[in-house]
Amino acid sequence: MASCSNRLLKLVILGDMGVGKTCLMRRLIYDQFDVNSFPTIGVEFLTKEIHPEGAEHETFTLQIWDTAGQEKFHSLRTPFYRGADVCMLTYSIADRNTFYDLQYWLKEFIFHAGVGANFPYIIVGTKLDLADELRDVPANWAEEWCQAKGIKAICLETSSKTRTNVDEAFHAALTIWIQNSAQSPTSNLDFSFRQFELRSEDLVKINRRQELEERQRRNYCCWKM
Amino acid sequence: MAGTEIGLWEYFKRLQEEGEQGARSRHADECRVERIALLDQQQTVPFGDGEEADESDTVQLQVRQSDGEFFEKFGSVMRNRTSLMVSESIDRECASSVAAECSQEAENSEAVEDSEEEHLPEEAEIFSRVLGSNSWTQRTCDLLHFENRVAAAPGSGIDGAAARRSTEPPTARRRRSAVLRQGTINGTFRGIKKEHMHLQTQAYLRNMTVEQLYAEVLYETVHVIGFGAKENQDEILSFLKTAFKFDDEKHDMLLEEARAKEAPDILLNVEVIEAHELHAKDCNGLSDPFCTLYLSNGPTQRYNTSVKTKTLKPTWEEHFSLPVEDPNNDVLVIEVWDFDPAETVREKLGKFSDVKGVKGFKKLFKEVAITASTGKHDNELVGTVEIPLKEVVSGGVKLWRSLTKKGKSKSQGQVHLRLALGALKNVQVATQEHRQLVRVLLKHDLEVTQPLPYKWSGRFLELADSVLNQHRIQTGLDENHVQLARWAEFCAVHIDHALNFQLLGRTLEKLIRPIKDGVLSDEEARVFWEAARKLMPACLTCIRKIRKLMPTDKDTLTQLEALLSILVQLTTLTPPKDFELFPANMFAWLSASNEPHSDIHQSIQDAVRQGAKDWYDHIMEINNDDDKKSDDQDIQLSYYIKILSLLQSDLLKAIEYHDKIYSEVAQFEYTKVIYEVYDERVFGLVEPVVQQTCKNLKPLRFNEDPTQGLYDNDDITMGTSLFELYIALQRFVVMGKGRYLNEDYKCSKFHTWFVKGVAQWLDIALYKALKRIEKAVELGNLQPIDEHVKFSSSAVDTLSIYYQIKVFWKQLNWPDVESSYTFVAKIIDDICRCSEFYAAKMSTRVAGLGETENAFSKKFEVTTEWCTAINNIEYIRQAIHPFVLELGLENILNSMAEFHSESNATQCRKTLQLVIDEAIDTVSNKIIDLIEIMAEKMIPSLHRFLVEAAELLRQNNMSLDRLMDYLQKNFETLHSHLSEENFKRTLAIVWDKLTKQLQELIDSSIEKRRPPSFFANLSDALGIMEGFFKYDETEIASLCENSDLLATTKARLKMHSLDTSELIQQYFLNRYEEQKLLTHTPSQNSEQCCGLLTVKCMFQDQYIKIEILNGRNLRPTDSNGYCDSYVKVHLLPEEKFAGSVTKCKTKVHKKNLFPLYDEIFSMPISEDLQRTENALIHFVVKDYEMLSSNELVGEAFFPFSEVRFDSDLQNVAQFHLPLTRPSSALEGEAFMALEHRQGDKMARDFVKKERTRESH
């Protein structure tokens, strides 16, 4: 009987077909990797309780909506955008077209989710395991793209196959959300909806966490170099 | 007319001669008439322009005899005789026309002139002989001779023609040119005589006028045939006058003429069909029967049938026409004979072997005897039938008659006959007349009776009926011709005045058989088809315009049925070659595939299709186009919805009324064809609009923060109209799919147009749901709706809102499984959001309730509203799962398994289950949140009560009672209203909060240096509350997460409630615990361990004996690396043993880290004291210092509980006790508590002492 506060965080994963959205999610939750997985039909949903680093007693329930990348599902996935707290945009580092398509995904998301400029994103390059032979998207592109687009995002590259950076990606989602909501608690309407009583101690916690995140972010910068 | 009669007699005589034995009487009908289809004739008169073409113009036929046999030709001329009995002036024109044509023929066919020339005089002679008495014919003959003469003079043809032209009357010239234009004569046929014959008929037919017809009818009326028809002659005459619209003068004149003419010849038409059960006349038991017919007035005029050999059941089927002079009294006699050929006696005897039975012998011998005696043979009479002509009614009869023989009572067999009275007349002419007559009378009839369209059912006025009947009799028309005439005329009239289709159907039915049997001649068949062609537009127009033309009453349906059956019957017949039943200029709308425009089935389909198209256009037309062009898309959409519903109602009507008829009569899927048309049209009309509208949809904006209002979306209506359109289309499509499963209609994938819309609808549904929930919470009074339930109206409202979403989903009935699955996931997610929203609304709703404030404090009490709010959310939470199941998840997942694979379905099932679980979980969390808020509100009161209780408990028990009262009261409220689960939750949460609160209270109380009694009171209160927070004998504390916290709290309370000495003892006990840890994990070199002390202890009687053996590896305390150690022994707790025990101390062992003490101490201790709980032996090893105070080396503890009773120390085991110094125990609760007791000297001193010890 959970009596400690358990917050929900809705995360939407978007990206081209075959980028590996579902694999990423399954790796996180089941720690499985299936080379021959089927294309997602419509939408998939999983939840995962995660704790912010350095604040293990805090629990966040990450509701992950994994959307189908296939074009035929276009109209089916858009309803799920609304109410999202974090958006994870994915591309394959071995296929630059998927990277170029990010802008369409971003556009689609912004249109259907109706979110503002301060919305937090995670940009995930998948299939890092292919980096040596097949890298098609230079590592710095994502960062540059985010700057060009003027969106708040954490960028990282992952491999579901080798489990590189998978947990980190989702933690980054939490991180950037916390960071974002602390900075502008009213910018995201949904935030106040979920936290219908934002207590002062929460703010303290958030601030504390913010420091942690700063530290964490430096970590990200390290491997990104 | 006498000449005519003679001719006739001669004719029949010749027939008689020709036939010899069993001669066949050639009926005039046997002369075959063959149609020649001429190129020009294919150009039929256009129908559609409303003007009815004259029948005679459309019948452009050329008649010729099929073979050149003289008698045949002659017969044909005979038949034409009556046709020539017309008024003179016309006759002349006619004749000249005929002559002109003949001459034309002569001119055109010079090559064959010679042979024809030979025949010409003969032909003329026949004419003159047969028709001699007729002056008209005479002239014709003259003309013929003249023309032939002209033609016979070689080289003078042109001059002759020119000369003739100048003498011709203008009318004749006109007619001739008409003939020429039609190319009637083109030299294909050789026999000019044949040409003459049919040309005559044709000329007459072409030129027949109403006047002629009228004269003819008058004639017939005057010379009526049949019985009982004469009485109303005057009536009929005046009726005719009205019907034909002739004035008196003309009428009288024509009537005079008619009266002046002789009565027509009457013929008795007899068909000898068959006979059976004939009496055997031959010795072989059979007969060779033939019939002889004659009238009693003229027994010499005998007609014989052929002989059917060796049968008693002959079939003849032979026709005879017997001229009748006195129909009133004459009697028809039919004799059946057994034919006996001439044989000699020898021949007869030769038949001996054929003889059968005794009777046969008798017969044979009788025959032999007769032959032998008379020397001749004779036919033997089988039997006779006599039929008075009176019995022959005007319509004709068909009957079986028994043969009788004089002197024999026994029946000699039966003979089957058909009898009819009639007059001789050319069939073509008669048919033509009959048709004209039918038309005149029908038109008159319609004028008189004024029937509604589609009502006239074939019943003529009585007088008209008798006129028609008379005409039929007098002209000798058979049934087929009569029906053909009726068919042709009805069809023609139908164009102007719609007749009952059933009538037409009946008429057609009677013609089907004859046509199939080939009884009708080709030209008659052509007439038939011409009429059918006239009927076609009416039929097809009815089909096309059934929506406009006829109301959907029963009569209409009957008409429709009749109409269809006409069409179907026509399909069983084959129209003549090159006959275009559906001329393209009339039926522009027939499909191109329907070539060569004669497929009736295809035409029906085309008509139905066209009708649907027309109706669609009509609907589009009558509906205001402004709507369609309106800028407001909403209005636009409702326009399409309207169109769809109109189409649908048309389809429903078709299903209800017409489908059955079409399928039964024509095996035709009426509605399906209409549906196909509409399907295509709707696709073209609606699809682009929907796509466009969907494209223009903007996502809704939400503001789900319950503290603020929802964002106002005003463009919901468009999505709503779009949904209505969807539903309308769905109904439309279901109609098609439901009925015609395998058809792939254009609209059947209609839902794909809307895919983008669905997301919008889901948003709208969510938005509306949120709106309504907001309203429901606002309006709800948080009172249970009745005594049986514990939730309030807003929960019920919210649930009903969910069910509206379900209804929406069911209505949507989304066909595509993948999207269905996704949408359902979305709906569940939305429901989750709604529930969350509701919970949030609920908690804001109750936020301020139950609080009272006075000057001193804030109070909070749990109210029923709080409980109801919690129950409401719980109610919603519990509703989620059943609700979700009702969305039809199973079906979706099953189809998913079919559509994709089992593993996909499993994956989807997992996802959905997760979504559902998550939704329920989320709402559960909301409940917990609310309970926490409530508990939080209770805490200040609890805190206050706790403090009061702790401070005043000893003096006044009331304070604790007040605490308990408060809890009791609130929990009673909660218990009576909340569900068990939520009550437990509440208990747990309150307990959790309470323990946390207690923790804080203890902390602050320690800060405030509350006396031990305060903590003791708190501890008591906690104990009491722990007993109170029980549910089903389970301690709530065990349900709490922080059960450890409770234990430490309890420990702390206990500690703080102790006396100082007790605390000190507790401290030492802690030290002992530490020592034990070292004992169990001996680590000699550890920092904590200051060496080992070996001791032996035992109780003996009232004493305790302690032997201190040695020390090992003592901690060096001196600068020289050694220590000068000694051991001091105390018994703890000190105050207990203070009186009885002296302090024991060993000698000092200098500079030795492994000293051997070997000293035994004995102290008197009563048995009671020996059992003291938690008593310890305290060994203190110190370093002796000369100048300063002694330094602590280490301490060891040995509990009384370990000390054995024995008599000799030798038997007691040694204990190696690790030596420790105060360290971690100083952090312990007991020492901390001592430190806090600054006001207590004992505590202060002890703490100081221990601190000093530590620092060393």
What are the DSSP calls for chain A, one per residue? ---S-EEEEEEEEEE-TTS-HHHHHHHHHH----TTPPPPPSEEEEEEEE--TT-TT-EEEEEEEEEP-SGGGHHHHGGGTTT-SEEEEEEETT-HHHHHTHHHHHHHHHHHHT--TT-EEEEEEE-GGGHHHH--S-TTHHHHHHHHHT-EEEEEE-BTTTTBTHHHHHHHHHHHHHHHHHH-TTTSHHHHHHSSS--HHHHHHHHHHHHHHHHHHHHHHHHH-
Contact of B835 with B766, CB cutoff 8 Å = no
Question: In whole angstroms, what separates CA B574 from the centre of its chain?
Answer: 38
* Segment B350-360 mean pLDDT: 62
Q: Which two tokens stand for residue B1126?
A: 């000694």
* Segment B564-593 mean pLDDT: 73
- A105-122 pLDDT per residue, tens: 998 888 888 787 788 999
* Segment B486-493 mean pLDDT: 82
Q: Which two tokens stand for residue B274?
A: 């068959």
Q: Which chain B residue has the Cα nearest residue A68?
A: B822
Q: Which two tokens stand for residue B833?
A: 């959001």
- B982-1019 pLDDT per residue, tens: 888 888 888 888 888 888 888 888 777 777 777 877 77
Q: Which chain A residue has the Cα nearest residue B760?
A: A79
For chain B, give the percent of residues with pLDDT over 70.
70
CA distances from residue B605 to B612, B663, B668, B943 in whole angstroms, order as listed: 11, 12, 8, 90
- Choose between B331 and B51: higher pLDDT: B331
Q: Which of B690, B696, B705, B924 to mutate to test the interface with A (most CBs of A within 10 A)?
A: B705
pLDDT at position B345, please? 60
CB contact under 8 A, A76 and B819: yes
- Choose between B270 and A11: higher pLDDT: A11
| Local confidence band at A193 (pLDDT 50, 70, 90 cut-offs) | very low
- Choose between B813 and B326: higher pLDDT: B813
Can you tell me the distance from the alpha carbon of B8 to that of B2, in angstroms, rounded to the nearest whole number?
Answer: 10
Can you tell me the distance from the alpha carbon of B1130 to that of B1200, in angstroms, rounded to the nearest whole number?
Answer: 12
Contact of B931 with B974, CB cutoff 8 Å = no
Flag whether pLDDT at B341 surpasses 90.
no
- B653-690 pLDDT per residue, tens: 888 888 888 888 878 888 888 888 888 888 888 888 88
Contact of B384 with B334, CB cutoff 8 Å = yes
**Residues listed for chain B:** 1256
pLDDT at position A89, please? 93
Alpha-carbon radius of gyration of chain B: 65
Instruction: Please report residues of B whose CB lies closer than 8 A to that of A76.
Output: 755, 759, 818-819, 822-823
Give the torsion sign (CA, B869, B875, B877, B879). negative
Query: B419 - beta bridge partners?
Result: B270, B397
* Segment B826-838 mean pLDDT: 86
Please give, rounded to a whole number of angstroms, the shortest distance from the CA of B1120 to a CA of chain A: 50
For chain A, give the percent of residues with pLDDT over 90.
10
* Segment B684-707 mean pLDDT: 74
CB contact under 8 A, B837 and A193: yes
Contact of B321 with B25, CB cutoff 8 Å = yes
Q: Which of B170-184, B333-347, B576-590, B1108-1122 has the highest average model confidence (pLDDT)?
A: B1108-1122
Please give, rounded to a whole number of angstroms, the shortest distance from the CA of A41 to a CA of chain B: 7
Q: Which two tokens stand for residue B1117?
A: 């305390």
| Interface ipTM above 0.85 | no
Residues 6 or more apart whose CB falls under 8 angstroms from that of B549 comprise: B541, B542
Contact of A62 with A24, CB cutoff 8 Å = no
- A43-56 pLDDT per residue, tens: 888 888 888 776 77
Please give, rounded to a whole number of angstroms, the shortest distance from the CA of B1165 to a CA of chain A: 54
Q: Give the strands of the sheet with B298-304, arranged side by side.
A: B298-304, B289-295, B331-338, B380-388
Q: Which chain A residue has the Cα nearest residue B755?
A: A75
Can you tell me the distance from the alpha carbon of B548 to that of B541, in angstroms, rounded to the nearest whole number?
Answer: 10
pLDDT at position B829, please? 85
Nearest to B327 by CA among B292, B297, B361: B297
CB contact under 8 A, A189 and B705: yes
Identify the weakest region by mean pLDDT among B376-385, B415-424, B698-707, B1217-1226.
B698-707
A10 shares contact with chain B (CB less than 8 Å):
no
3-state secondary structure at position B1198 = strand
pLDDT at position A123, please? 92
CA distances from residue B300 to B303, B338, B777, B1055, B1170 in whole angstroms, order as listed: 9, 20, 119, 161, 173
How far is it between the farthest Cα atoms of chain A?
51
Candidate from B762, B821, B988 with C-beta closest to A79:
B762
Instruction: Please report residues of B whose CB lies closer than 8 A to that of A80.
Output: 825-826, 829
CB contact under 8 A, A76 and B914: no
pLDDT at position B690, please? 84
Flag whether pLDDT at B60 surpasses 70.
no
Instruction: Please report residues of B whose CB lies closer than 8 A to that of A36.
Output: none
Identify the weakest region by mean pLDDT among A184-188, B358-362, B425-429, B985-989.
A184-188
Can you tell me the distance from the alpha carbon of A12 to that of A82, in angstroms, rounded to the nearest whole number?
Answer: 9
Residues 6 or more apart whose CB falls under 8 angstroms from that of B786 comprise: none
Pick the CATH number of A6-224 from 3.40.50.300, 3.10.20.340, 3.40.50.720, 3.40.640.10: 3.40.50.300
Assign residue B22 a region (left: φ > 0; alpha: ψ between -120 and 50; beta: otherwise). Answer: left
pLDDT at position B361, please? 64
3-state secondary structure at position B816 = coil
* Segment B889-899 mean pLDDT: 84
Candidate from B701, B904, B925 with C-beta closest to A114:
B701
- Choose between A16 and B299: higher pLDDT: A16
| Local confidence band at A124 (pLDDT 50, 70, 90 cut-offs) | very high
Identify the weakest region by mean pLDDT among A71-85, B98-112, B345-359, B584-598.
B98-112
Can you tell me the distance from the alpha carbon of B322 to that of B17, in angstroms, rounded to the nearest whole number?
Answer: 16
Instruction: Please report residues of B whose CB lies closer than 8 A to that of A83.
Output: 702, 704, 833
Please give, rounded to a whole number of angstroms, the shortest distance from the CA of A100 to a CA of chain B: 24
pLDDT at position B1113, please? 83
Instruction: Please report residues of B whose CB lies closer than 8 A to that of A114.
Output: 699, 701-702
Can you tell me the distance from the alpha carbon of B480 to that of B515, in angstroms, rounded to the nearest whole number?
Answer: 9
As a three-state string, the secondary structure of B1086-1098 is CCCCCCEEEEEEE
| Local confidence band at B584 (pLDDT 50, 70, 90 cut-offs) | low
| Local confidence band at B166 (pLDDT 50, 70, 90 cut-offs) | very low
A63 shares contact with chain B (CB less than 8 Å):
yes
CB contact under 8 A, A43 and B989: no
CB contact under 8 A, B704 and A44: no
Alpha carbons within 13 A on the beta-carbon side of B222: 18
Can you tell me the distance from the alpha carbon of B359 to that of B875, in angstroms, rounded to the nearest whole number?
Answer: 111
- Domain residues of chain B, as ranges? 2-209, 210-259, 266-422, 428-622, 624-764, 939-1057, 1078-1226
Element of type H or E holding B785 = none
Can you tell me the distance from the alpha carbon of A68 to that of A21, in angstroms, rounded to the nearest whole number?
Answer: 9
* Segment B225-230 mean pLDDT: 55
CB contact under 8 A, A43 and B825: yes
Average pLDDT score over chain B: 72
CB contact under 8 A, A45 and B821: no
pLDDT at position B276, please? 84
Contact of B1104 with B1170, CB cutoff 8 Å = yes
Q: What CATH topology corresponds to B266-422?
A: Immunoglobulin-like (2.60.40)
Contact of B93 with B207, CB cutoff 8 Å = yes
Question: In whole angstroms, what separates CA B1012 from the centre of its chain?
Answer: 86
Q: Which two tokens stand for residue B480?
A: 């087929």
pLDDT at position B551, please? 56
Q: Which of B38-42, B132-136, B469-473 has the highest average model confidence (pLDDT)?
A: B469-473
Chain A with chain B: Cβ pairs closer than 8 A: 109
Please give, rounded to a whole number of angstroms, the shortest distance from the CA of B1047 to a CA of chain A: 19
pLDDT at position B102, please? 43
For chain A, give the percent of residues with pLDDT over 70.
77
Q: Which two tokens stand for residue A84?
A: 């999202």
Q: Which of A171-175, B578-582, B1060-1064 has the highest average model confidence (pLDDT)?
A: A171-175
Nearest to B822 by CA among A131, A76, A208, A126: A76
Q: Which two tokens stand for residue B389?
A: 């002509």
Instruction: Please report residues of B whose CB lies closer than 8 A to that of A8.
Output: 922
Flag whether pLDDT at B943 surpasses 70.
yes
Q: Which two tokens stand for residue B619?
A: 């609907």
Nearest to B294 by CA among B394, B384, B378, B414: B384
| Local confidence band at B179 (pLDDT 50, 70, 90 cut-offs) | very low
3-state secondary structure at position B419 = strand
| Local confidence band at B80 (pLDDT 50, 70, 90 cut-offs) | very low
pLDDT at position B176, please? 35
Instruction: Please report residues of A whose CB lies closer than 8 A to that of B914.
Output: 45-47
Whether omega before B388 lies within 30 degrees of 0, making that bond cis, reads no
Can you tell me the distance from the alpha carbon of B1178 to that of B1079, in angstroms, rounded to the nearest whole number?
Answer: 16
- B254-287 pLDDT per residue, tens: 878 777 776 666 777 788 888 888 877 777 778 8
Can you tell me the distance from the alpha carbon of B267 to that of B25, in angstroms, rounded to the nearest whole number?
Answer: 14
Please give, rounded to a whole number of angstroms, the shortest distance from the CA of A53 to a CA of chain B: 22
Contact of A54 with A35, CB cutoff 8 Å = no
Flag whether pLDDT at B1048 surpasses 50.
yes
- B792-811 pLDDT per residue, tens: 888 888 888 888 888 888 88
Can you tell me the distance from the alpha carbon of A98 to that of A96, in angstroms, rounded to the nearest whole number?
Answer: 5
Are both B266-422 and B1078-1226 of the same fold? yes
pLDDT at position B626, please? 65
For chain B, give the percent of residues with pLDDT over 90.
0
* Segment B750-777 mean pLDDT: 83
Can you tell me the distance from the alpha carbon of A127 to that of A109, in angstroms, rounded to the nearest whole number?
Answer: 23
pLDDT at position B9, please? 42
Assign residue B850 a region (left: φ > 0; alpha: ψ between -120 and 50; beta: otherwise). Answer: left
Can you tell me the distance from the alpha carbon of B540 to that of B552, in angstroms, rounded to the nearest whole number?
Answer: 17
Flag whether pLDDT at B129 surpasses 70.
no
- B503-553 pLDDT per residue, tens: 888 888 888 887 787 777 777 788 888 888 888 877 887 787 777 765 556
- Choose between B224 and B226: higher pLDDT: B224
CB contact under 8 A, A3 and B1041: yes
Assign residue B902 a region (left: φ > 0; alpha: ψ between -120 and 50; beta: otherwise). Answer: alpha
Can you tell me the distance from the alpha carbon of B122 to that of B642, in angstroms, rounded to the nearest whole number?
Answer: 82
| Local confidence band at B155 (pLDDT 50, 70, 90 cut-offs) | very low
Annotate B1106-1169 with DSSP letters as a single string.
EEEEEEESPPP-STTS---EEEEEEEESHHHHTTT---EE---BTT-SS-EEEEEEEEE--HHH
Alpha carbons within 13 A on the beta-carbon side of B240: 30
Within 98-127 of A, beta carbons closer than 8 Å to B belong to 111-112, 114
**Tell me, what DSSP letter sits at residue B451?**
P
CB contact under 8 A, B706 and A76: no
Q: Which chain B residue has the Cα nearest residue A112?
A: B699
Q: Write down the architecture of domain B1078-1226 according to CATH.
A: Sandwich (2.60)
* Segment B859-884 mean pLDDT: 85
3-state secondary structure at position B850 = coil
